[in-house]
């Protein structure tokens, strides 16, 4: 039986990001992916929000994505655009880039890091015991892992087999999305009617078209067919425009559910396996990739015996509330999609509110992921929030904070007296950097905050401790997040 420290079921964006995070810190990780190639058929996510770009920048790979897409103000709520160009981040924008390209670039990174991918087969079951998990594959092979992570999408076999509840709300709307050819000139663009929203647009290749159509009925349980698409088009437009030759055809709904637990002993869930919701606002892929970045370093430290396995409980504690906030905001946006006059009045009211500066900043920070705040207790506003990518002055010249995070290791940034902090018992794990920062400290939506004299930054870029001229609480924070001190 082949052994790996961590096996990831599913090589979508979440699984790829997690594999990269683990491989960066030399954990023996493998992916099992049902698809034979990483080409994603059809369109799903249309791009990246600001915080996801920052996350990729923390690993030094943001340019790979930025060079392939179109930078734009992509954040919005129920159709109201939310401009973030005045936000204190290097990436005060989003990126328009189809998911197929996002996955291709992530897969390239994971390949460079040497992660083995068991392609063209699926995980069919598993059994966990006190020391590991036996993972069954559809080709009859078995893998043994210390941990198994289900990144296997909304219908997650891992979640179901682990017996993890998936409470939430059944769908109220159903859409077909397809890439097809047609024989007649259609009505281009978006149409709203009593059924919902529909659109027809040309694909980048110029030949085929992308169809989005709301179905008359909710609750289909079979895979969609060309006939379903034709009928849905006729119901809306009175014609199917001679639709034929689909290269992709799928159905999505506004089903909204979240796993009750992100961990069952040696089995964890991330991405759509842990939460599903309507695509409004473009948050699913972002949430999954950021789940992966929260989990990766914790899992690595547990596998490497640096930290006790209780560190893994902080994954649920931190990430469950994040998706629990995404779910209702997508539900609200679905309601605001409705075309009737009363809903339109409500949409216009929301839009007027979001035109005011304070609501705009709050919602924009939420939709772009820049306001994420893990509850690490009382203290400086930076505690539990993202570390800004400041330009630091060091003895070796100018340095960006994110550069320090490229290899996914924690950093203690000393902005006070050089040499004023001593972390010898953690020096094997935590980089100590003496630096000066001459600018102001400003956080998205919160505004200016007082300048700290030191910050302890986790590998995921969130602040674990803030110093105010003393080392009070630093040893505790180092132990909590990066394991007990090494004996002298
Ligand atoms: C129409 C639409 C538009 C969207 N737009 C956006 C957007 O603009 N922005 C955004 O952030 N999100 C968007 N999303 C959501 C986004 O597509 C998902 O959140 C994202 O793909 C989740 O990634 P994942 O890796 O967690 O799961 P998935 O992408 O579902 O990947 C799961 C992977 O697991 C594999 N797999 C499944 N079962 C097994 C098994 N048993 N063994 C091995 N492999 C298995 C699958 O083949 C797949 O590759 C949209 C979704 C839809 C449907």
Helical H segments across 128-271, by residue range: 157-161, 226-237
pLDDT the model gives residue 182: 95
Neighbours of 179 (CB within 10 A): 19
Query: Cα separation of 234 and 131, whole Å?
Result: 57
**pTM of structure:** 0.96
Pocket lined around ligand 1, Cβ cut-off 6 Å: 9-15, 32-35, 44-46, 99, 122-123, 151-153, 157, 177, 252, 271-272, 279, 282-286, 288
Residue 253 contacts residue 194 (beta carbons within 8 Å) = no
Per-residue pLDDT, 374? 98
Chain centroid offset of residue 159 CA: 18
Question: In this predicted structure, what is the pLDDT of residue 337?
Answer: 87
CA of 271 to the centre of ligand 1 (A): 8
Atom number of ligand 1 nearest to Cα 283: 11
Angle separating helix axes 341-354 and 313-336, nearest 10 degrees: 120
Residue nearest to ligand 1 atom 40, measured at CA? 122
Q: How many CA atoms lie within 13 A of 206 on its CB side?
A: 0
CA of 150 to the centre of ligand 1 (A): 12
Q: Which atom of ligand 1 is nearest to the CA of 152?
A: 34
- What the chain holds in terms of domains, given with CATH numbers, is 2-167+257-367 (3.50.50.60), 174-253 (3.30.70.2450), 391-482 (3.40.30.120)
**Rounded-to-integer distance, Cα 458 and Cα 95, Å:** 25
Both tokens of 124, joined, read 């069919």
Q: How far is the CA of 53 from the centre of ligand 1 (A)?
A: 18
Q: How far is CA 411 from the centre of its chain?
A: 23
Calpha distance 470→451 (Å, rounded): 14
Question: Ligand 1 centroid vs 234 CA: distance in angstroms?
Answer: 29
Q: Ligand 1 centroid to 272 CA: how many Å?
A: 6
Q: What integer pLDDT is reported at residue 40 of this predicted model?
A: 64
Contact 457, 463 (CB under 8 A): yes
CA–CA distance, 218 with 174 (Å, rounded to integer):
5
Atom of ligand 1 nearest to the CA of 286: 11
Map 267-307 to HEC letters. Answer: EEECHHHCEECCCCCCCHHHHHHHHHHHHHHHHHHHHCCCC
- Report CA(398)–ligand 1 centroid distance (Å): 39
What is the structure's pLDDT at 413? Answer: 98
C-alpha angle 67/72/78, rounded to 5°? 135
Would you write out the chain's pLDDT as a tens digit for each of its 488 residues? 899 999 999 999 999 999 999 999 999 999 999 999 877 666 788 999 999 999 999 999 999 999 999 999 999 999 999 999 999 999 999 999 999 999 999 999 999 999 999 999 999 999 999 999 999 999 999 999 999 999 999 999 999 999 999 999 999 999 999 999 999 999 999 998 888 889 999 987 778 899 999 999 998 888 899 999 999 999 999 999 999 999 999 999 999 999 999 999 999 999 999 999 999 999 999 999 999 999 999 999 999 999 999 999 999 999 999 999 999 999 999 999 888 899 999 999 999 999 999 999 999 999 999 999 999 999 999 999 999 999 999 999 999 999 999 999 999 999 999 999 999 999 999 999 999 999 999 999 999 999 999 999 999 999 999 999 889 999 999 999 999 999 87
pLDDT at 347: 95
Tell me what pLDDT residue 454 has: 98
Please choose, from the candidates 358, 440, 453, the residue with its C-alpha nearest in 3D space to the C-alpha of residue 412.
453
Strands 80-81 and 2-9: unpaired
Atom of ligand 1 nearest to the CA of 138: 42
């Amino acid at each position: 039986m082949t052994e790996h420290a961590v096996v990831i079921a599913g090589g979508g964006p979440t699984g790829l990001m997690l594999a990269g995070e683990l491989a960066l810190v030399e954990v023996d990780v493998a992916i099992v992916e049902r698809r034979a190639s990483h080409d994603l058929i059809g369109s799903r996510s249309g791009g990246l929000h600001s915080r996801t770009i920052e996350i990729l920048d923390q690993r030094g790979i943001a340019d790979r994505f930025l060079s392939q897409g179109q930078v734009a103000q992509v954040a919005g709520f129920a159709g109201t655009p939310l401009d973030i160009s005045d936000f204190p981040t290097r990436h005060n924008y989003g990126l328009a880039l189809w998911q197929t390209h996002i996955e291709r670039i992530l897969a390239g990174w994971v390949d460079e890091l040497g992660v083995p991918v068991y392609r063209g087969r699926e995980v069919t079951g598993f059994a966990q015991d006190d020391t590991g998990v036996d993972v069954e594959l559809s080709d009859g092979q078995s893998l043994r892992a210390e941990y198994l992570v289900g990144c296997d999408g909304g219908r997650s076999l891992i979640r179901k087999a682990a017996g993890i509840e998936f409470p939430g709300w059944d769908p109220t709307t159903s859409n077909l999305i397809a890439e097809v050819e047609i024989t007649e000139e259609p009505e281009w663009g978006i149409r709203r009617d009593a059924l919902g929203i529909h659109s027809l647009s040309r694909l980048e290749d110029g030949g085929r078209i992308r169809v989005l159509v709301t179905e008359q009925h909710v609750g289909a349980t079979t895979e969609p067919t060309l006939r379903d698409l034709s009928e849905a088009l006729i119901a809306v437009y009175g014609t199917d425009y001679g639709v034929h030759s689909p290269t992709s055809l799928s159905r999505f709904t506004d089903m909204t559910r979240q796993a009750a637990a992100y961990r069952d002993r040696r089995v964890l869930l991330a991405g759509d396996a842990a939460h599903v919701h309507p695509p409004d606002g473009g948050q699913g892929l972002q949430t999954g990739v950021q789940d992966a970045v929260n989990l990766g370093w914790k899992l690595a430290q547990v596998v490497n015996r640096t930290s006790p396995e209780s560190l893994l409980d902080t994954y649920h504690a931190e990430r469950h509330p994040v998706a629990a906030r995404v779910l209702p905001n997508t539900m609200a946006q679905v309601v605001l999609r409705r075309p009737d006059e009363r809903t339109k009045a409500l949409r216009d009211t929301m839009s007027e509110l979001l035109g005011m500066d304070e609501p705009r900043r709050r919602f924009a920070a939420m939709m772009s992921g820049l306001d994420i705040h893990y509850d690490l207790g009382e203290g400086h506003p930076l505690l539990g929030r993202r570390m800004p990518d400041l330009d630091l002055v060091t003895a070796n010249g100018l340095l960006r904070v994110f550069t320090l995070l490229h290899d996914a290791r924690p950093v203690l940034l000393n902005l006070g007296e050089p040499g004023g902090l001593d972390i010898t018992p953690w020096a094997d794990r935590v980089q100590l950097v003496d630096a000066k920062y001459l600018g102001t400290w400003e956080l998205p939506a919160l505004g200016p905050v007082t300048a700290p004299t030191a910050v302890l930054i986790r590998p995921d870029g969130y602040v674990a401790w803030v110093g105010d001229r003393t080392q009070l609480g630093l040893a505790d924070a180092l132990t909590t997040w990066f394991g007990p001190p090494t004996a002298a």
